Structure 1
Amino acid sequence: MSKSILMIVGDFAEDYETMVPFQMLDLAGHEVHAVCPEKEAGDTIKTAIHDFEGDQTYTEKPGHNFALNATFEEVDAADYDALCLPGGRAPEYLRLNDRVIEMTRHFFAADKPVAAICHAAQTLAAADVLDGRRCSAYPACAPEVEAAGGTYVDVEMNEAVTDGNLVTAPAWPAHAAWIRQFLDVLGTRIEHAEPVTA
């Protein structure tokens, strides 16, 4: 059954962590609305590509412009079945928006599925929804997860963690695991048909 998913993004959200889940959830038959505070449907956000090239932290390069398809001020979290939070630099300021925090809390209070990746843990910590939860995130966010009462789970960059309705991962190399586990929590089943032979 198709689900409606709210995705909260902002300028300099991580490129892959925004575009890939948006497209993959759409491919799986779900309706995804991407919104950003102070922006409307049809506006764009700038994204940034975070890469891992052997330095002490990730490098950052310009990404694509990502088009929003819904207006932040018009959406009601109660109308959505699930929440998706990309990482990047956007969460560090999105978490200062009271409505972003209220929306995030709604999904936890209603026990709806939530997928958060990389620095999106900053939004979860600010919303005070991690107490007693297991949560993966970009390693630099581990202190914020733990300060919020969560247990930071240190997994490989291509792995994800599910704790009840919450699916988290450290960064975009985990997309396959993260999206697969989120689809499981959503109750989405993908069946493979036998190939047709002539």
Structure 2
Amino acid sequence: MGLTIEYIEGQTPLDEPENEGLLISSITTREELDEFEQLNIEKAIQWTLGKKLKAEQLFTEKFIRDLHKKMYSEVWKWAGSFRTTEKNIGIKSYLIAIELKQLLDDALFWINNKTYEPEELAIRFKHRLVSIHCFANGNGRHSRLMADLIMEKLFNRTIFTWGSANLVKPTEARGNYIKALREADKHDLESLIAFAKS
């Protein structure tokens, strides 16, 4: 039968080879996929709870990949691997490692020089990370968790609430989130910061 996904605005369609990376053959609908992914993500959050992370550990390609793998490895074979195909958003796949390295170096500079307040730094990092679109799927959830880890591990602050809603489903909150992301694409982070705190 296979997996049938109805994509909503802002979601990245999977190519057929990526779709074939599904590890649970009984999943056939978007709802089932979301449920299994959420269970896996909750395990990844548990994995981060006891970790004491410094900026030099958090802002590495290894951690970016490891976190994605922890979030999705029970569902997708390609979890933690950079995408090799072009998507409706994100940079060219061959530029991912270079652009990610630049972002990670920038983030370390921001931390070391106190360039931004914690909330702005976390959201600025999240937005650039999701814009690179390192992985075939899960980039939004991955970048939001990274922003939360920056707040919690590096600044000892409360994590973001992200509109207190499920941003995977087509809700008003998701619409507001997508709108805020588009404003951030134009270098206006104010709405995205406000949404993250709402």
What is the TM-score with the length of structure 1 in the denominator?
A: 0.31
